[in-house]
Structure 1
Amino acid sequence: MAKLFESIGKLGLALAIGGSVVNSALFNVDAGHQAVIFDRFRGVQEAVVGEGTHFIIPWVQKPIMFDCRSRPRNVPVITGKQRSFPPTDLQNVNITLRILFRPVSTQLPRIFTSIGEDYDERVLPSITTEVLKAVVARFDACELITQRELVSRQVSEDLTERASTFGLILDDVSLTHLTFGKEFTEAVEMKQVAQQEAERARFVVEKAEQLKQAAIISAEGDSQAALLIANSLMEAGDGLVELRKLEAAEDIALQLSRARNVTYLPSGQGTLLQLPQ
């Protein structure tokens, strides 16, 4: 009986050891991940292991997991920029870049060997700062505000090309934050106010010029009218005066006909209210 229990104990121990060996020989790769196999005798294997359950040699091989999904990262950068108007000293520009990145699956062994598992911490801040400073140097401070879309596109193109040398893919690059120092912001506001005042002054000058031209034209018209009347009087003699009397009489008759207290119109020269002959 004792031998039977001893045999059962040995069998159980063997099964436990065997289960432990089998369990250590299996590993799982989750969705969106891939694994690189490190062999103690042959180093990092070139083949990349995809999703699912796989076998390895226990105590000889070790899987290193990599997340191959797009991940966001915000990289803040402070760089100097020449102002576009006085004073002309350097102005600090605070820029924050948002990056969606992922590694190239086929280059995971090289990334692990040359950079390490924390490749994003080692690569992205340095190349982002390098590219941003190079691009910002091509624009003055005002252009960074007015041509922000062009700046963002240029940063995206240069940074994508730079990241590809490290085996990284950038799915999206965008400028999420761009600010200047307090002094520069105040200078921009002062410049805008000065431009608005200049526009207002120009409008006032143009308006005065228009009024001046209108006055000149009106005076010329009055002078021409007076000249024409004088010439008519010289040519027509009393005929023009008689015409003006008739026009005045017609106007007076019209006004009297509308008055409430007048029931008839006087005849004769009284209609002209004793106008001088």
Structure 2
Amino acid sequence: MVMEDDWDPKGPKRTKDPQMPEINIPPMVANILRGGAIVLVILLIFSAVFGSIFVSVGAGQVGVKFSQFGGVMDDELGEGLHIVPPWISVTKYSVRSEMYTMSGRAAEGEVVGDDQINALTNEGLTLGLDISVRYRLVADDASVVHSKLGTSYAQKIIRPTIKSVIREVVSGQTAMAIYGEQRDLVATEMQLEMEKALVGDGIIVEEVLLRNVQLPTKIADAIESKLQADQDAQRMIFVKQKEQLEAERRIIEANGIANATIVEATGEAEALRLVNQELSKNPKLINYKYIQMLESQEVQTLIVPSDQGIILDATA
């Protein structure tokens, strides 16, 4: 119950909490905070009405900006989070290495079904080629590509360039060169020609893979036969060289044996000559050598020629 003497028309008085310090914010700082809050609210309203103002560009990507008031802008957005005005839209492009494949297999390539390239050689033969081209978009030229070609630039410029260059290069080659040992050289020539054609459009060709070459059946059989014949010829050359080396080895071995025999015979002849020379000087030397031989033998009885005298066993 409130007594009349305690009633205060201005309301109850508030007492200050001695534990809560009073914070004094300068007017300038308060105005700045108030302005920032207003700007943030306005941006959120624009974001809700026109779309998000925050754009995230992923790894290996570049963002191309398009202004509703000025068209495509030259300054591309790099990787990371960006804040853009609501009237600017961003289209993202990959600047990583990409692969464009044209193949006769239905499960391969950018186009479903048979997408093999048919080209004529300088002999008038039709070859079927499976091609893979590795390329990448130049980050600084993404805005130009967006203005000229759009996001489907691979279909608009890369695909027709591949067909044109492949047919032009093949027309100056033989089927054997493309199918055989010069395939890598032909692929390198294709890459150089594609680079010349696409560098002006902001596209770098990194590699051309000539994955498969399909020949007419008769030509394929003829080439296979020729390749087999070449391999057989190379094998025969190897066998011939091996046999020639073996024959040379045998000749060297035979010469060595012959030389050894000659040396041995020469030695024996010289030994006989010396023996004969000594015997001619002392004829009884042979008897002495004969007796020495007998001393090493256990001889009980010995028959000798009558003119040699009688030899008795001294141990008997």
TM-score where L is the length of structure 2: 0.51
> Structure 2 matches for 1:84-163, cutoff 5 A?
90-144=124-178, 145-163=180-198
Structure 1 unaligned regions, length at least 5: 1-13, 84-89, 204-277
Separation in 2 of the partners of 1:132 and 1:95? Answer: 9
> Kindly tell me: are residues 156 and 196 of structure 1, through their superposed partners in 2, closer, same or farther at Cα, counting changes over 3 Å?
closer
- How many residue pairs get aligned? The number is 182
Question: Which digits, 9 at most, give the CA deviation of each residue in 1:157-187, with x for residues without a partner?
Answer: 1112212121101222221111212122123
Kindly report structure 1 stretches of 4+ aligned residues shifted beyond 2 Å: 14-23, 186-197
User: Take 2:98 and 2:141, find their aligned partners in 1: how far apart are those partners?
Assistant: 17
The question of 1:61 aligning with 2:49 is answered no
Q: Secondary structure at the match of 2:121?
A: strand
Q: Deviations over 1:113-156 (max 9, x none)?
A: 11111111111111111111111122111122231121111111
Q: Structure 2: where are the runs of 5+ without partners?
A: 1-40, 103-115, 238-316
Q: Distance in 1 between matches of 2:152 and 2:230?
A: 51
1:182 correspondence with 2:233: no
Counterpart CA distance in 1 for 2:95 and 2:231 is: 53
Q: Which string of whole-angstrom CA distances, capped at 9 and with x for unpartnered residues, describes residues 74-99 of structure 1?
A: 1342112244xxxxxx3211112211
Which residue of 2 is the match for residue 251 of structure 1?
Answer: none
Q: Percent identity?
A: 22
The structure having more radius of gyration, on CA atoms, is: 2
Q: Secondary structure at the match of 1:72?
A: strand
Q: What amino acid does structure 2 have at the position aligned with 1:162?
A: A
Q: CA deviation at 1:37?
A: 0.6
Distance in 2 between residues matched to 1:196 and 1:49, nearest whole Å? 58
Q: Could you say what secondary structure the match of 1:173 adopts? A: strand
Change (3 A) 1:93 1:23: same
Match of 1:49 among 53, 77, 80: 77
**Aligned position for 2:98:** 71
Paired residue secondary structure (2:76)? strand
Counterpart of 1:221 in structure 2 is none
Between the aligned partners of 1:98 and 1:45, the Cα distance in structure 2 is 33
- Decide which of 8, 13, 34 is 2:62's aligned counterpart: 34
Cα 1:24–1:176 change in 2 (3 A) is same
The structure-2 alpha-carbon separation of the partners of 1:188 and 1:37, relative to structure 1 and needing over 3 Å to count, comes to same
C-alpha deviation, 1:189, in angstroms: 3.8
Higher RCO (CA-CA < 8 Å; seq separation 6+): 1
In the TM superposition, what whole-angstrom CA distance separates every residue of 1:18-43 from its partner, at most 9, and x where no partner exists? 77369711111111111111111101
1:24 aligns with 2:52: yes
Normalised by the length of structure 1, the TM-score is: 0.58
Any idea what SS the aligned residue of 2:96 has?
coil
User: Which residue type is aligned with residue 175 of structure 2?
Assistant: A
Counterpart CA distance in 1 for 2:46 and 2:227 is 80
Q: Which deviates more, 19-28 or 188-197?
A: 188-197
Counting only pairs closer than 5 Å after superposition, residues 256-271 of structure 1 correspond to structure 2 as none
Shift of 1:44: 0.4
SS in 2 for 1:47: coil
SS in 2 for 1:188: helix
User: Is 1:81 aligned to residue 121 of structure 2?
Assistant: yes
Higher share of residues assigned helix: 1
